[in-house]
Structure 1
Amino acid sequence: MVAPGGGGGGAASWPSEGELDVVRAKVVEISGRGAGEVRVVACPYRICPLGAHIDHQGGTVTAMTINYGVLLGFVASDDAEISLQSGQFEGVIRFRVDDLQKPIENPENINWESYARGAVYALQNFGYDLKKGIIGYISGVKGLDSSGLSSSAAVGIAYLMALENVNDLVVSPVDNIQLDKSIENKYLGLENGILDPSAILLSRYGYLTFMDCKTATHSYVYFSALSKSQQCQGELPFKILLAFSGLQHNLPKKSGYNTRVFECKEAARALLCASGCEDASSILRNVNPAIYEAQKCILEENLARRAEHYFSEMKRVVKGRDAWARGDLREFGQLISASGRSSILNYECGSKEMIQLYEILLKAPGVLGARFSGAGFRGCCLAVVEIGHAEAAAAFVRAEYEKAQPELVSKIPPGRRVLVCEPGDGARVI
């Protein structure tokens, strides 16, 4: 089955039949149903080469999925009950789809059950009629949770798509983006934008997805250096490196992430008021770049840095889109690295360990560009690397980061310290 919007496989197709068989067998075991009844939602993780930290400001971003992600095997319940088990967490979740779900007030209470309840909450609040629950088994990639790859959005979307499937609901990818945003914003209390769900639901194998987060429109950018037949055969001239820091924690409501979002809005508010547009919504996308240049001197230092990151990143996204369309990976990579530097200096995210990992990636053989993935406070860094140097670059990063942070590296499963990945497809039910 192809991704929404027409994506469709290639050499990097995920999941494999072996992965699907494992999930199906587990659902058969816990449900007592036949293997032919089991459906699987495949929700890939995403990366954002350019467009860091600007989606919540209505910015334009680029994204693609990778050939790793979340699998949710499921069958329809005989009634309204949801019964779930996890490959990463112990216990069984049980509740009903007709139970009224209320937003989580204390972020410390967020756990793996929250995303399933959040999916029911979002569907209830958007007016969808849920009569059937699911019996399901969800599995991600051990070591990749809480890693800056949108794992939370992948989980939320998986539950949405499974519940929609068993209740015969026809929901478009665009509507599912808003449903997942409701899980994150309304139910969990996180100020996330639409980048993560958009990338997961809309991406196509071998293309760069270009998204306008203000208008919620998207387009696909073709890598013109190769013929379409070469792209379909998986002959893109690069790989994606994901290097994990070993730093993992949840993203609570009062985290550095939410603080940065608030600061961006404050910068927008000050600039809009200074230009006589105080009635406009306080996001930086509503500030004319010329007004920003003329009025940026009024901003407090921390707000000035957030605005500088936003406006410079918007320029990098456009340049990166054009470089990709020309097949210029070297310029594309340089822009990714510049995004990483601005994230550190202007957006002021990242820790000592994350910055070390970023700098190690920049020195690795064949790496064209690198930056943090996700919010940047923990998790992983991504890099675009020439295809012929991918394994050597991965080995270099493993060795150098282990020298720098031996204790943290010891906490990461050996096979998950640096992954060599390929672009993937969008979310789908198999």
Structure 2
Amino acid sequence: MLNVFTPYRVCPLGAHVDHQLGQVTGFAIDRGVRLEFEITNNGEFEVCSKNYPGVVKFNVCEEYEREMTWGDFLKAAIIALSRKYDIKNGIKGVVEGSLPVGGLSSSSAVILTYLNALCIANHIHLTENEMINNAMWAEKNYIGVNVGRLDQSCEVYCKKDSLLYLDTLDNSNEIIPINKKMKPFEIMIVFSGRERQLAGSAYNIRVDECKAAAYALQAYAEMDYKEFSTAVLRKIPIGIYKEYRTKLPENWRKRADHFFGEKLRVTEGIKAWKEGNLDKFGQLMFESGRSSIELYETGSSNLKDLQDIFENTDGIYGGRFSGAGFNGSSIALVDPQKEDIIKENVYKKYISKYPELNEKIKIIFVNTADGMELNYD
């Protein structure tokens, strides 16, 4: 029996900007998606999930239809690879995600897991960048979410005990080890008790609002511009943004304000990380979370309340909700010596507001991890 594993990711700084070719940061964590499988030589696929009911069963020669179920992610991976490679062998196995769905890039992780297994089964050798590009194509063109490169890149490039800095404009990246002077920390993940469905959320609307802001700013400044689909805020000089931002409709202006504010926070955060200043890095995470709520205008009510709780809990260096903010999880960097009291305080404060989620909220402490291994030997 073969097995492949893809870690989940968290993004401390650089939220909601990768689809605008912004700069981002991330950790891979020691939880993720695992697939145990054997190879079939007749093109048959048969996969069951330990997280969701049902069995996905089909042949590679069949014409696929979107069913809006968890099986669509396997089909997305097959179609992405089939653009260039001949997929003859199938897989039979069991897939499992080790944490609840919501904000930890589970969709990206499961697609990467399937891609890796398909490569092993069909003797396909992808580079890290090719793996990322295929996963992005699958999620954009089959699943229907206008994702950037953050999730896939974190889950492939990250290294244990290090922060990934990624510039999605040119895909340059830097692995920045923990400074020896930095205080110890753990990553706390609080699952709010409510899962989210990203493709059915307002995520794509936010992406379009950012693009609309970029398109309008180019027009106001009489810059050369092409199709709306190519407009991104990263291509807007900050001077142009400052001069014309007040001309934008309020929603578009707020999205632009978040983008340029997050750009500065990433820059300051990288400096703080390299200096080993965890307090400063954490404060920037809190500011990022507030900007997501007030300027990007996302975050479900329970995630907004978790933000308030994080900001007023001793031992939490910094925190914010993870992912797009439409239910799911929040993440925080915390003092390991105060883990128990932090968990108790967060749980009590949250349940006082959402007693109906008493049995569903989960508070988990994890550590940084390496990205996925491309197991082709």
User: TM-score range, shorter-chain basis?
Assistant: over 0.9
Which residue of the other structure, out of 200, 203, 212, is the alignment partner of 1:266? 212
The secondary structure found in structure 2 opposite 1:205 is coil
Equivalent residue in structure 1 for 2:144, among 165, 183, 189: 189
SS of residue in 1 equivalent to 2:368: coil
TM superposition score normalised by structure 1: 0.84
- 2:121 pairs, out of 166, 181, 186, with 166
Return the offset for 1:355.
0.8
1:84 maps to 2:39: no
- Large movers: runs of 4+ above 6 Å: none
Counterpart residue type for residue 293 of structure 1: K
User: Hey, what does 2:193 align to over in structure 1?
Assistant: 246
In the alignment, is the contact (CA less than 8 A) between 1:82 and 1:93 conserved in 2? yes
Alignment TM-score, normalising by the size of structure 2: 0.95
Given the alignment of the two structures, is residue 44 of structure 1 paired with residue 10 of structure 2, yes or no? no
Unmatched tracts of structure 1, length 5 or more: 1-37, 227-234
Question: Partners of 2:183 and 2:100 in 1: how far apart?
Answer: 27
**Aligned residue in 2 for 1:323:** 272
Instruction: Confirm or deny that 1:130 pairs with 2:87.
Output: yes
Identify the match of residue 163 of structure 2 among 199, 203, 208. 208
Mapping of 1:16-415 within 5 angstroms? 38-101=1-64, 104=66, 109-125=67-83, 127-141=84-98, 144-225=99-180, 237-253=184-200, 255-279=201-225, 281-412=230-361
2 CA distance for matches of 1:309 and 1:331?
Answer: 19
Query: 1:68 offset after TM fit, Å?
Result: 0.8
**Distance in 2, Cα, partners of 1:292 & 1:420:** 40
- Counterpart for residue 15 of structure 1: none
Matched, 1:425 2:374: no
Contact 2:4-2:117 within 8 A present in 1 as well? yes
One-letter amino acid matched to 2:215:
R
Tell me the secondary structure at the aligned position of residue 112 of structure 1. Answer: coil
CA distance in 2, matches of 1:352, 1:89: 26
Report percent identity of matched pairs: 37
Alpha-carbon separation, structure 1, partners of 2:2 and 2:159: 21
Structure 2 gap segments, 5+ residues each: none
Structure-to-structure mapping, 1:7-22, within 5 angstroms: none
- Partner Cα distance (1:168, 1:320) in 2: 41
Task: Give 3-state SS (helix, strand or coil) of 1:147's partner.
Answer: coil
Does the CA contact (< 8 Å) of 1:98 and 1:130 recur in 2? no
Number of equivalences: 372
Work out the CA distance in 1 between the residues paired with 2:321 and 2:196.
16
Instruction: Measure, in 2, the Cα distance between the counterparts of 1:89 and 1:394.
Output: 28
CA positional deviation for 1:212: 1.0
Q: Tell me whether 336-345 or 360-369 shows the greater mean CA deviation.
A: 360-369
Give 3-state SS (helix, strand or coil) of 2:369's partner.
coil
- Code of the aligned partner of 1:291: I
